[in-house]
């Protein structure tokens, strides 16, 4: 919806254009899918209402006596708003009673629990929710095998390496969640999944030769089953288009794409057109620089045999 799609009528906000269609029925496509997507759609709608009034998140925070960060996180779908939050925002934005009811209902549905919310330690909500409903997932990794491709042994090693002081119980939970996430690739409606890997991912010995041999064998198995495609950027390419880390591009049938960048302490969810364009451009360069899927499989198989011989 373009800025300015809302117009003042009869003392309230009349939501025009695409948004009016969404409220009147097209919303069903979103409500039939995922609480996480509903949360994102709610956030986008609230952000548009604020934009149409010409207010900043700081303006709204000041008026509601809360932080600008809270408003920003609601709008970007990183925080589940309470029903009171949505009610207060609708009142502040002078939204009509009928439209407020629609947004309140969307907020209720956004608060339905996903299976991953039982794991209170995780810092990947809403990411896992997006992962569960994405129609296409493309990831780039410089350092380790992406989560959806990991064996249990590899996952244990990599989680422990990143969080050295992790409590045993939390460690078990994170491994359990990682393996549960992988069920997405076994579903009939699984996403198109592509992993672009720096060759360093194959050469870095996580857990020793036996763990690495099994890990690379799993990638080859997923390739054979048509559940994932892997491409490797060989060392001889030299510097490439994404030297600064790992990222994931998630695409959906019924919502706009998201780029996810995971950090040690904070995660980024990028949705602006300029950000998406930049990461898509980088992804295209990476695909061009990588070996073909067939040649990548040959390289992975070669590395797997090398590790297997060293068991």
* Of the listed ranges 32-41, 67-76, 85-94, the one predicted with least confidence: 32-41
C-alpha distances in Å from residue 8, one per residue of 12, 49, 86, 220, 297: 6, 11, 20, 58, 59
Amino acid 89: pLDDT: 94
**Do residues 161 and 73 both lie within one domain?**
no
The residue segments making up the domain with residue 106 are 6-112
* Domain tally, the chain: 2
User: For the chain, what is the total number of helices (H) and then of strands (E)?
Assistant: 14, 8
CATH of the domain at 155: 3.30.870
* pLDDT reported for residue 18: 36
Q: Which of 141, 131, 271, 254 is nearest to 187 (CA)?
A: 131
Q: Higher pLDDT residue, 269 or 20?
A: 269
In terms of domains, do 78 and 61 share one? Answer: yes
pLDDT value, residue 211: 97
Please check the confidence at residue 13 and state whether its pLDDT lies above 70. Answer: no
| Residue 141: per-residue pLDDT | 95
pTM for the whole structure: 0.72
Q: Are residues 85 and 229 in the same domain?
A: no
Residues 72 and 43 in one domain: yes
228 and 200 co-located in one domain: yes
End-of-domain residue from the set 82, 112, 142: 112
Question: Is residue 237 located within the same domain as residue 296?
Answer: yes
Regarding whether 137 and 76 lie in a shared domain, the answer is: no
Q: 234 pLDDT exceeds 50?
A: yes
Query: Can you give the pLDDT at residue 28?
Result: 34
Alpha-carbon gap, residue 234 to 253, rounded angstroms: 33
Find the farthest-apart pair of alpha carbons in the chain and give their distance in angstroms, rounded. 77
The last residue of a domain, from among 61, 94, 112: 112
Are 283 and 182 a contacting pair, CB within 8 Å?
no
Cα 188 to Cα 180: distance, rounded to the nearest angstrom? 16
Domain boundary among 57, 77, 112: 112
Residue 67 has pLDDT above 80, yes or no: yes
Average pLDDT across the chain, whole number: 84
Is 1 a domain residue? no
pLDDT at 295: 98
Read off the pLDDT of residues 235-258 as tens digits, 9 standing for 90 and up. 998 888 776 678 999 998 877 899
User: Is the domain of 150 the same as that of 244?
Assistant: yes
**What pLDDT score was predicted for residue 289?**
94
56 and 132 assigned to the same domain: no
Q: Bigger pLDDT: 73 or 259?
A: 259
Two tokens at 120? 């209170």
The H or E element containing residue 219 is helix 209-224
pLDDT at residue 291, rounded to an integer = 97
Q: Are residues 17 and 38 in the same domain?
A: yes
Average pLDDT rounded to a whole number, residues 297-303: 98
In this model, does residue 73 exceed pLDDT 90? Answer: no
pLDDT given at position 284: 94
CATH code of the domain containing 55? 1.10.260.40
Cα separation, 137 vs 257, in Å, equals 10
Confidence of residue 9 (pLDDT cuts 50, 70, 90): very low
pLDDT (0 to 100) of residue 180: 93
* Residues 276, 172 share a domain: yes
């Amino acid at each position: 919806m373009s800025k300015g799609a809302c117009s003042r009528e009869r003392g309230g906000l009349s939501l025009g254009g695409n948004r009016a269609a969404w409220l009147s029925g097209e919303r069903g496509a979103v409500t039939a899918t995922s609480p996480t997507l509903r949360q994102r759609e709610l956030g986008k709608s609230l952000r548009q209402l604020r934009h149409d009034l010409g207010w900043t998140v700081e303006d709204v925070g000041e008026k509601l006596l809360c932080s600008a960060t809270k408003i920003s996180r609601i709008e970007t779908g990183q925080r589940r708003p309470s029903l009171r939050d949505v009610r207060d925002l609708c009142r502040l934005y002078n939204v009509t009673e009928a439209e407020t009811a629609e947004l309140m209902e969307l907020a209720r549905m956004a608060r339905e629990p996903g299976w991953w919310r039982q794991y209170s330690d995780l810092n990947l909500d809403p990411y896992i929710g997006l992962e569960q409903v994405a129609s296409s997932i493309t990831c780039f990794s410089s350092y380790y095998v992406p989560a959806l491709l990991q064996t249990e042994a590899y996952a244990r090693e990599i989680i422990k390496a990143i969080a050295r002081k992790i409590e045993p119980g939390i460690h078990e939970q994170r491994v359990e969640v990682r393996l549960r996430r992988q069920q997405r690739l076994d579903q009939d409606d699984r996403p198109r999944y592509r992993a672009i890997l720096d060759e360093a991912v194959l050469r870095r010995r996580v857990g020793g030769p036996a763990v690495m041999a099994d890990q690379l064998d799993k990638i080859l198995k997923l390739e054979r089953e048509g559940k994932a495609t892997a491409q490797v950027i060989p060392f001889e390419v030299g510097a490439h288009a994404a030297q600064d880390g790992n990222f994931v591009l998630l695409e959906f049938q019924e919502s706009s794409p998201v780029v996810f960048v995971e950090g040690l302490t904070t995660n980024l969810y990028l949705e602006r057109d300029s950000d998406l364009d930049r990461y898509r451009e980088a992804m295209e360069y990476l695909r061009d620089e990588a070996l073909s899927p067939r040649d990548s499989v040959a390289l992975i198989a070669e590395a797997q045999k090398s590790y297997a011989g060293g068991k």
